[in-house]
Amino acid sequence: MLRALLTVCMSLPALCFALTPDQECQQIAEVAAAVMQQRQEGVTYSAQQKISEKFTSEDTKAFYIDIVEDAYSEKQLNTDTAKDQAIQAFGKSYYDRCMAPE
């Protein structure tokens, strides 16, 4: 799972050049949801930091860390239903922020 997330995250900057704003925001939402899923599965914050160290772009690294810090400020939930709702809501919040007019 961590390897799949890393692959998506590392390809995100390159893909953004060819994507529409909606597609770019969808990619960001997917990364955010994946980070929250890992949070809910008990992946450690330090493991997320190690993932961020693999980014070559400082902007991408900083953005990823912002998502991680946001996700890890939320508590881990106990039920699968609550976890799924938190994951979906977290991804949607990033999509909505991305699509909001500046």
**Residue 98: per-residue pLDDT:** 93
Look-up of token digits 């330090």: 46
For the cut 70, the answer to whether the pLDDT of residue 5 exceeds it is no
Looking only at Cα atoms, what is the longest distance across the chain? 39
Domain boundaries in the chain?
2-99
pLDDT digits (tens, 9 = 90+) for 14-67: 544 677 888 999 999 999 999 999 999 999 999 999 999 999 999 999 999 999
By residue count, the chain amounts to 102
**Residue 9: per-residue pLDDT:** 56
Give the per-residue SS3 of 28-96. HHHHHHHHHHHHHHCCCHHHHHHHHCCCCCHHHHHHHHHHHHHHHCCCCCCCHHHHHHHHHHHHHHHHH
For the cut 60, the answer to whether the pLDDT of residue 12 exceeds it is no
**Residue 102: per-residue pLDDT:** 73
- For the entire predicted model, the pTM comes to 0.80
**Residue 1: per-residue pLDDT:** 45
Q: How many Å apart are CA 31 and CA 5, to the nearest integer?
A: 7
Structure letter (DSSP) for residue 18: T
